[in-house]
Structure 1
Amino acid sequence: MSTHPQEPDPVPEGAARPPQEDLPPQQERSPREDLPRPGPGGPGTASDEAPDAATGTGAATDEHAAALDELRDRWRRALAELDNLRKRHAKELERERAAERARTAAALLPVIDNLELALAHAQADPGAILEGVKAVRDQAVDALERLGFPRYTETGVPFDPTRHEVVGVVEDTDAEPGTVVQVLRPGYGDADRQIRPAAVTVAKRE
């Protein structure tokens, strides 16, 4: 008996060949694998769109930072202007106060001068001292009135708590109840600007 393996009979020409089971099956490839893969710089990659997106975000950030810097600068300028205005107002207020004090002192200087004259002539003519003091008093009252603080000593007027200070209550049949009977100390000023209310006695109410 022959030990050589039998060789298959030759296939007649035109006949179908049987499948060859010994050959490995051909691996199927996906259609996507046949297409060329884009490289790192090819079209359609994320690297193509990233620079545009990054550029847009950076521009917006720069714009916001510039606007914020401008607002900070305007805020600093407003604070500086406000501080300068406050200092200028304080200086003007101090100047006005100094000018008002000077006007008041100037109005009282003639009163002091006349008092000195009255004292100087008191020894030479003692009887004239009374008239001199009255004249000085009238001059001082006139100075206060010109400064906006007129003197009031009216009696027989209704009691006004904004102008009068009650120091006593008396019975007076000739006066209406609640009216000023006597002024013990004159008042100076008016309803808006008052230095001192008048000290008065008032008729008793029945």
Structure 2
Amino acid sequence: MASPEEHPNNEDERPGVAEAAPGPEAPESDASAELARLEDRWRRAVADLDNFRKRYARELDRERQTERIRVARAWVPIVDDLERALVHADGQSDAVIEGVRVVLDHAVKVLEQLGYPREDQTGVPFDPQRHEVVGVINEPNTAPGTVVEVLRPGYGEGSNQLRPAAVVVSRREE
């Protein structure tokens, strides 16, 4: 027996019966649908690329900030050591002592350039965001809660603070 493809009376091969030919608009609608699909894919790819760039910029800023903090935290003990060396110099004015002062000034400027200015003001009201109280004294000529002495300077300000200043504060009069 002949297969349907070989059968002479196959309806698809009968004379006078043509395949449903697409109209003249079908190729254009297929092309416009394909164009719309490709434009959609292109727009999504552009949006993905834009999102990637923004995400990368945020991550890069976060990494820079993390590295800046790491470097500044490593730098602060060096500044503290230079200050201690100057305290023990006993007012001598030789070239080595002057050199240490210059290095200390430069180190403090580097911290400031990294975004961590030195906080060592006296006579200002105590602020728990900027100061750490390590001592309280009676100081009759100052208002209670005033920073009288800075034992260890702080670096940074606001949420960008490496460490608060260690201070002595005047006592509230009772």
TM-score band by shorter chain is 0.5 to 0.7
Residue type of the alignment partner of 2:124: V
The count of corresponding residues between Structure 1 and Structure 2 is 129
Q: How far apart are residue 204 of structure 1 and its match?
A: 1.7
Partner of 2:118 in structure 1? 151
Q: How far apart are residue 137 of structure 1 and its match?
A: 0.4
Q: How far apart are residue 93 of structure 1 and its match?
A: 5.9
Partner of 1:194 in structure 2? 161
The secondary structure found in structure 2 opposite 1:129 is helix
The secondary structure found in structure 2 opposite 1:154 is coil
The 4+ residue runs of structure 1 with deviation greater than 4 A are: 65-72
Please show how residues 167-186 of structure 1 align to structure 2 within 5 Å: 167-186=134-153
2:41 maps to 1:76:
yes
Partner of 1:205 in structure 2? 172
Q: How far apart are residue 153 of structure 1 and its match?
A: 0.9
Unaligned runs of 5+ in 1: 1-54, 116-126
Cα distance in structure 2, aligned partners of 1:74 and 1:162:
54
Aligned CA-pair RMSD: 4.2
Partner of 1:88 in structure 2? 53
Cα distance in structure 2, aligned partners of 1:194 and 1:81:
39
Residue type of the alignment partner of 2:115: G
Name the CA shift for 1:138/1:66 in 2 (closer, same or farther; >3 Å). same
Q: How far apart are residue 79 of structure 1 and its match?
A: 2.5
Please show how residues 115-126 of structure 1 align to structure 2 within 5 Å: none
Name the CA shift for 1:71/1:145 in 2 (closer, same or farther; >3 Å). same
The secondary structure found in structure 2 opposite 1:200 is strand
Q: How far apart are residue 205 of structure 1 and its match?
A: 1.6
Residue type of the alignment partner of 1:182: E
Name the CA shift for 1:88/1:181 in 2 (closer, same or farther; >3 Å). same
Q: How far apart are residue 155 of structure 1 and its match?
A: 0.9
Residue type of the alignment partner of 1:172: E
The secondary structure found in structure 2 opposite 1:82 is helix
Cα distance in structure 2, aligned partners of 1:185 and 1:135:
19
Unaligned runs of 5+ in 2: 1-21, 83-93
Q: Which moved more, 1:65-74 or 1:182-191?
A: 65-74
Q: Which one scores higher on RCO, CA 8 angstroms, separation ≥ 6?
A: 2
Partner of 2:14 in structure 1? none
The secondary structure found in structure 2 opposite 1:143 is helix
Identity across the alignment (%): 49
Output one character per residue of 1:70-116: Cα deviation in whole Å (capped at 9) or x when no partner: 66444422331122223434269649949x96xx89xx9xx9xxx9x
Output one character per residue of 1:116-140: Cα deviation in whole Å (capped at 9) or x when no partner: xxxxxxxxxxx53322212110111
Partner of 1:164 in structure 2? 131
Output one character per residue of 1:16-70: Cα deviation in whole Å (capped at 9) or x when no partner: xxxxxxxxxxxxxxxxxxxxxxxxxxxxxxxxxxxxxxx9xxx8xx96x888766
Cα distance in structure 1, aligned partners of 2:37 and 2:137:
72
Residue type of the alignment partner of 2:50: L
